[in-house]
Structure 1
Amino acid sequence: MEAVGQIVRNLVVFLMCLVGLLAFVLLNVLMIPTNYLATSFAFYLLGYDGMPAESDLLIGPYMGGFFQGASVTQFFAMVLTLACFFGLFVAFHSLFHIFKLLDDRKAYLLQSDPESAAIASRMLLREAFLLFVLWVPPLVWILHWDMELFRLRSIAGALAIEDPAVASQLLNWEEQMKENSLQWAWPMTQMGAWGYLAMTAVACLGIEYSMGKTSNAWARILSSIQGLFGEGAAKAQEVDFYGYDLDGQPVYDPNSPIAYDVYGQPLAHEEASPVPPDTKIQPPFAEEFADTSQGLPIGAVQGANGYHQEPQSSNLSQPYLWDPAEPEATPSERAAAGHDRGAPAGSEALHEVIGGPTGQKVILQQALADKTRYWVDPERLQVWDAGYREALFGENFKKAA
């Protein structure tokens, strides 16, 4: 239920971000044609060529097919409008990318990953150079041009000028403010130029910001859904493991007989029998089977004399008593006898076959009896697949590693 609630919350956030994104897209859809119409009139007041583009001998036949009746002035206006909007959009996108690289670099440094932090720093410098050196300066001039055209058409409108010949005789903006600063239209024109630029920037910034938020919200929804169904799939794919049969092969069928438990220990004083479907063998003491030695097999500890290993036994009620005065037997002799110091006599614990099929385990007596198939390390009491060890060590495969 918690996972479902998380999906619902993420879905609500995603819908809110999507509404915001659509709102900013609509704002840009309205502002682009508005700016185009206003800029086109400003170019007309400046006396730009109003010749239809289709009358040009070089590109007229092609342009006329798509933009019939459009003039050069209108093409100027559209190009300037699109340059302003797309220029601001790319600038904000690059700026957000710089912020993300800064966050990534900080995270790498906190994780003690200087190599990734150095890569992020190089990407940060490259992105900053492209933005602030190669992109922002020409964009500033484009926006300044658009602002001056806004002031021209605003003052021409305040003075009711529609003739390009008259509009071209107007004084520049500084002189206009000196002479008419007390009239309401001129301060409003000054404020409106900056307000117009701010609206354009907000529209482009809003799209970039809302796109990032919407993308993150959608990613959280997918993550929640994958977590919900992935957890169920993982449970469905779980396979119960019950132990090993007489041949040392893993048993996953609850109706198959087992001779050894899940840790390779023989079932003491019990014949191999099917396991009830609801039975799972659990370790009596987890620490018994923890590998606390250095490079030793599970269930072995380092001996006090430092040169042999002693497999531990899960049967703690029948310890093997060893007299220090008793002559020390070699590991291979102890293995052939079927017991080891610290293990009950007749112990038949399974040993994993190194280099054999996955999950294959045999008892030492069986490995020592079949020397063509197995090789036993007399010091470490490790069982190797003979063919695998010969391929690994060549002619010296019989020597202890």
Structure 2
Amino acid sequence: MNSENKKPKLAVLLTQYGATSHGICYCTKFLEGKQFDDHFEPPLCEVVSMHLMEIAANDIGLATAKKHQVPLYPSVATALCRGGDTLAVDGVVIIGEHGTYPLNEKGQQLYPRREIFDQVVSVFRQSGRVVPVFNDKHLSWNWTWAKYMWQTINALNIPWMAGSSLPFAKFEPFVPLPRGKRLDHVIAVGYGGLESYGFHSIETGQNIVENRAGGESGVKSVQVLNGAAVWEAHNQGRWPKDIADAALASLKKPSGKPQDFTRDVFAFDIEYRDGQRMTVLMANGYSQEFAFGYREKGKKEIIAASYFLDEVPRLKHFSATVRALEEMYLSGKPTAPSARTTLTTGILAYGIDSHFQKGVKLETPDLNIAYKPPATYSVAMRGK
């Protein structure tokens, strides 16, 4: 395929394709290209089939498929097989985000990512081969299911990427990642719902902390604080206040003071198996931005930066994500750590359980997920 310079053929599976959905973030860019600050890049892959599980009230998926002459198929299997009996695409894009899916008692939205995954794997098994797959955001709301998905991915050697767009987005100032450095407590800052944007917030921090000396070791425990207890812990030094203050100060459009807000404010307090610590502050009310702060062991300087995320319709911060995915579909190899999203899925699941159990600290013996990020990131990992 690559030697003949043919574009990889993709099947895109979506729960919904509304005017403000992740369908625009991913599928539209695969179809129409990627806009960066100073240039435009045409598509490197070809979308040859789509499956929509729901038609949104503000649906644009039907019109987009018609515009680009992409066939719509009634099921996952027919989309992957393009109406035939065997796998007929070079890559799969799963966008299991948005739609009329209920919430459980913990506030988790029951997106059918595991169900879509199972149908994809069934086609792989039937066809006797696998192709690269991308899964938008965390693997599943159900941690037991997520672990099964990860075990299956490894057992079948599926080239796999998943997760948030934040690890690919621009941060300002353009500070270095702490590759191979021993780190003090890492702080990540985010906002939004505990599950939906808690995941983005955790991956914001994990993208930093995984670069420490020795690489990722896995997580020992997770605890979620909320409300006034977050700022009480902050003032009492449960995490380094100066690093947290620097991360908060890097935000571009804050409102008032962080401690003026307690409603829907959360902190994930995470202890890693090698003794590393990270706190993820979800400073709702104060900000609607993402940021991070860290300091090398034995040094005084604090490195802090915030992310620049633009709005619909261009959503340029997804352009670097799609570029990285295109590289995976072209090369057959993931361009970011596949284990990262499995680990962050578990951190999020334990954090939601901690919050549901009134903020109890939970030991996490099955988060023994160790990995090392690539020694050097592809150019696809950083947008311009």
Question: Which has more helix, going by share of residues?
Answer: 1
TM range (shorter): under 0.3
After TM superposition, the score normalised by the length of structure 2 is: 0.20
After TM superposition, the score normalised by the length of structure 1 is: 0.19
Higher relative contact order (CA 8 A, sep 6+): 2
